[in-house]
Structure 1
Amino acid sequence: MTTASITRHWLPYGITGTGTRLFCFPHAGASAAVYAGWRAAGQDDLAICPVQLPGRAARGRETPHQDPGALADDVLSGLGTEFTGDYALFGHSVGALVAYLVARRIVEQGGPPPRHLFVSGRPAPQLPNTRRELRALPTDDLVKELRALGGLPDVLLKERSLLEMFLPLLRADLTVNETYQHVPGPPLPIPLTVLGGIEDPRAEHAELAAWQELSADSALFTYPGGHFYLDDRVPEILEVVRRRMAA
């Protein structure tokens, strides 16, 4: 597989525009398509680059990762040549963990660091998980939890066969999120911005604020809404991205 085809593999929408490339990592069970609508809002100064992880959409035949370290290594193997120059990372929920791990590996390996790290909707990685774990719940219990978060498309609730096809990917992503074991290290030499929903039951304010321990240059922004607060606030979020990177 050529470098260009590998890039298309990971970046199904390509890279358009000349502004800062913002590589966006999706939440559990989601594909790069969740960021497709962000691309128009990026305008000329931001090139929104939704990342397609294994196990979804055109990569549906690939086995999704369950180990957070292996996933971060795979991202670097596939996209490492793109992580240079003017770029930043964004991730929501488990995507926040992936973005953090990728940024940390780049720094540890001496690569060109991202201009900024944006994390959303997840407790800081150094905190212990005190919530009910979801990855191994029986299907009906898992569906109930996801419906409470607002993270399950209606079509999956109506079509049990589609739901059963979707669950292995979702459980794999939840395993990445719930089995991560933090290894302490020096603060990242990268500005960090944390975002979240005020009513998010999976990421409370103190848990979001704890991310700020991981960078000497950090800020926290919260918005009305739950775990998927960002769905209705794309222009606001991208304005924060612009402001923080300008600072």
Structure 2
Amino acid sequence: MTDPVAAVADRWFQPETAPDAETRVFLFHYAGSGASIYRDWPPLIPADISTQCIQLPGRQERLNESMFTDVVPLVETIADRISAELDGRPYAVFGHCMGALIGYRLTVELAERGEQAPVLLGASAWAPKGFRTPPPEQLQVPQEKVVEWARGLGSLPDAVVNDPEAISLMMPAMRADLEVCASYADDGAAVPCPIVTYSADHDPLVDPEAMASWVPRTENYLGNRLFRGMGHFFIHEETTSITADFVRLLRGRVASR
């Protein structure tokens, strides 16, 4: 008989791509999306590294579950799940936008609990300072305004914008996730692992100097990879470049342990 508590916990994790791999990467999606944004990653990751996407409630197969609107309880809950999932293998954390925020705070939380830390943190399109989080009042505007804003970032293709049913399914998660981002208050916390960052020079949500705020967050900042001519969702256009760089760094960290 299936344990209902375990079943709920399992919904946080998509299946591992290579359960027997020596190393794995936990992937966190951006606001308003779901784990499917990483569907193109597995074929680009070598067999000795397994990827596992985290699926937040309120979207895709978790559509009917209650969503989080505050970053602290969300991170604490994910930390509970990750702690139970860790099996001694070295692992990395990667996230884009809200996913980078969650990955960073998760790494801080695990360190404070004395849990096994990741060997590498990858943060894309987000920084502790210089990220233009929508103010709380912007989150209360009519749906069409949120759609217009999201479309301007490149996150909503015309096929979605012109589909009222798709918009109605996506909008609650978008609003909840934006509240998560707006609830974040920076405390300058550092993490016990190297950090590598990725950004784009045409990203309207990230100030040009924002990635410099990562430097004091670790004793080993591995630098920022800047993609020129790209907007906020460069992760989709530059999937091959990002995965190749992240895998190279991850293998280096595992080899040096």
TM (norm. structure 1) is 0.91
Matched, 1:12 2:14: yes
Quote the residue 2:233 is aligned against: 228
Task: State how far apart, in whole Å, the 1-side matches of 2:48 and 2:194 are.
Answer: 19
User: Structure 1 residues 203 and 19 mapped into 2: Cα distance closer, same or farther (>3 Å)?
Assistant: farther
Counterpart secondary structure, 2:213 = helix
Distance in 2, matches of 1:156 and 1:216, equals: 43
Structure 2: runs of 5 or more not aligned = none
Match in the other structure for 1:95: 99
SS in structure 1 opposite 2:197? strand
Q: Contact 1:67/1:179 (CA < 8 Å) preserved in 2?
A: yes
Compared with structure 1, are the counterparts of its residues 11 and 128 closer, same or farther at alpha carbon in structure 2 (3 Å cutoff)?
Answer: same
User: What is the deviation of 1:6?
Assistant: 5.0
Instruction: Quote the Cα distance in structure 1 between the aligned partners of 2:132 and 2:238.
Output: 28
Tell me the SS of whatever aligns to 1:199: coil
| Residue type of the alignment partner of 1:26 | H
Q: How many angstroms apart in 1 are the aligned matches of 2:67 and 2:192?
A: 30
RMSD, aligned α-carbons: 2.0
For the residues of structure 2 that align with 1:33 and 1:120, how far apart are their CA atoms?
Answer: 17
Q: Percent identity?
A: 26
Q: Report the AA paired with residue 187 of structure 2.
A: V
Which residue identity lines up with residue 102 of structure 1 in the other structure? Answer: L
State TM-score, norm by structure 2.
0.87
Counterpart position of 2:81: 78
Alpha-carbon deviation of 1:100? 0.6
CA contact 1:85–1:112 (8 Å) conserved in 2: no
Does the CA-based 8 Å contact 1:24-1:89 persist in structure 2? yes
Q: Which runs of 5+ in 1 are unaligned?
A: none
SS in 2 for 1:205: coil
The question of 1:190 aligning with 2:193 is answered yes
Residues of 2 paired with 1:35 and 1:3: CA distance? 26
Separation in structure 2 between the aligned mates of residue 149 and residue 27 of structure 1, nearest angstrom: 12
Cα offset, 1:19, TM superposition: 3.8
Please tell me whether the aligned partners of residues 123 and 196 of structure 2 are also in contact (alpha carbons under 8 angstroms): yes
Question: Aligned partner of 1:176: which letter?
Answer: V
